[in-house]
A and B are shown apart, each in its own frame.
Chain A
Amino acid sequence: MKEMIAKIVKLITDNQVYRSVFRHGFPTTDANRALVMFSSVVLHLHPVRVRRGALKIRFTWCLGGLTFFFFILLAITGVFLMFYYVPDTRRAYNDIKDLGTVVYFGELFRNMHRWSAHAMVLSVWLHMTRVFMTGSYKPPREFNWVVGVILLVLTLVLSWTGYLLPWDQLALWAVTVGSKMAEASPLLGSAGPFGPEIGMTRENDVAFVLLGGTVVGQSALLRFYVLHCLALPLVSAVLMAVHFWRIRKDGFSGPL
């Protein structure tokens, strides 16, 4: 039995096609296990060896990795949802209803998207708590913490911009609450301290910039859609790249 499996494996891996893709054998020897970290783009994030202490789940609880994983899940389910959704106030709501009824697996993808979003927000808070409790932000890792806080803010804004897209009552008024707060900004908002004094009105303050108008309407929906699907994920991806890069460069902070 074992020989048959070995023969099948050799058949698959010992030919030009396989070698052109993977360039080495399956990582069953130590040499291959080292090589795979260099030659695989998905795995190149990892070092070849890691301290035994880094494997302790009780140390990191996999929280950072889970946050990244949820981000990937959100991207994949999000792309699926984008096929069926148009950010037009006249049809956005019906598109979401279609996803729940006539689109195959539509409901599953929408639910996965929403649960991954909540999970990502939760895991990013827990990850920050863990990093603080293990002091893994202390020198020389200060800047990575700053990048992490910015990623936290981006996660929350991503979640909030996505909230508007179904265009139901919950979405509209949740965003209205937020834009009223923006309007109350000091100096930048038309309803905030010193805002009117320097010429801020509802037509030119920061809430107007956010919504593309004075009410939460079509412009706001389009803006939030572009932010949610394109601009913010791009910025997050770049910052995540910096974040992971710094982790590799500064090394694992944990126990031996």
Chain B
Amino acid sequence: MDEIWGYPYRLGITLFIIIGTALLTLGFVGLAVWLEQSFKKEKIKK
């Protein structure tokens, strides 16, 4: 299993992991922000 860490793959894999994690984190935080805004807007409308 150790043999598969050839160079062309490693950079891609590293970027995949870092960018993927960052995107997912931002996605969850963005979800919370969107819901926060939507509830606040409703409160103001009331």
- A, B from the same assembly: yes
Chain A contacts for B38, CB-based, 8 A = 58
Q: Are B39 and A133 in contact (CB under 8 A)?
A: no
Q: Are A58 and B35 in contact (CB under 8 A)?
A: yes
Chain A contacts for B32, CB-based, 8 A = 133
Chain B contacts for A133, CB-based, 8 A = 31-32, 35
The CA-CA distance from A133 to B36 in the complex, in Å, is 10
Q: Are B39 and A255 in contact (CB under 8 A)?
A: yes
**Size of the chain A interface, CB-CB below 8 angstroms:** 5
**Size of the chain B interface, CB-CB below 8 angstroms:** 6
Q: Which residues between 7 and 46 of chain B lie within 8 Å of chain A, taking CB atoms?
A: 28, 31-32, 35, 38-39
The CA-CA distance from A51 to B17 in the complex, in Å, is 43
Tell me the smallest distance from the CB of A216 to a CB of chain B, in Å.
22
Chain B contacts for A255, CB-based, 8 A = 39
- 9 cross-chain CB contacts under 8 A: A58-B35, A58-B38, A58-B39, A59-B39, A129-B28, A133-B31, A133-B32, A133-B35, A255-B39
Tell me the smallest distance from the CB of B4 to a CB of chain A, in Å.
19
The CA-CA distance from A58 to B43 in the complex, in Å, is 14
Q: Which A residues are closer than 8 A to B by beta carbons?
A: 58-59, 129, 133, 255
Tell me the smallest distance from the CB of B1 to a CB of chain A, in Å.
14
The chain B residue with its CB closest to the CB of A129 is B28
Chain B contacts for A59, CB-based, 8 A = 39
The CA-CA distance from A255 to B32 in the complex, in Å, is 15
Interface centre among A59, A133, A255 (most CB of B within 10 A): A133
The CA-CA distance from A133 to B38 in the complex, in Å, is 14
The CA-CA distance from A11 to B39 in the complex, in Å, is 47
Chain A contacts for B35, CB-based, 8 A = 58, 133
Chain A contacts for B39, CB-based, 8 A = 58-59, 255
The CA-CA distance from A59 to B32 in the complex, in Å, is 11
Tell me the smallest distance from the CB of B29 to a CB of chain A, in Å.
10
Chain A contacts for B28, CB-based, 8 A = 129
Chain A contacts for B31, CB-based, 8 A = 133
Tell me the smallest distance from the CB of A183 to a CB of chain B, in Å.
18
Tell me the smallest distance from the CB of B2 to a CB of chain A, in Å.
18
List the 5 closest A-B pairs by CB distance, nearest first.
A133-B32, A255-B39, A58-B35, A58-B38, A129-B28
Tell me the smallest distance from the CB of B44 to a CB of chain A, in Å.
13
Chain B contacts for A129, CB-based, 8 A = 28
The chain A residue with its CB closest to the CB of B39 is A255
Tell me the smallest distance from the CB of B46 to a CB of chain A, in Å.
10
The CA-CA distance from A195 to B35 in the complex, in Å, is 49
The CA-CA distance from A179 to B8 in the complex, in Å, is 34
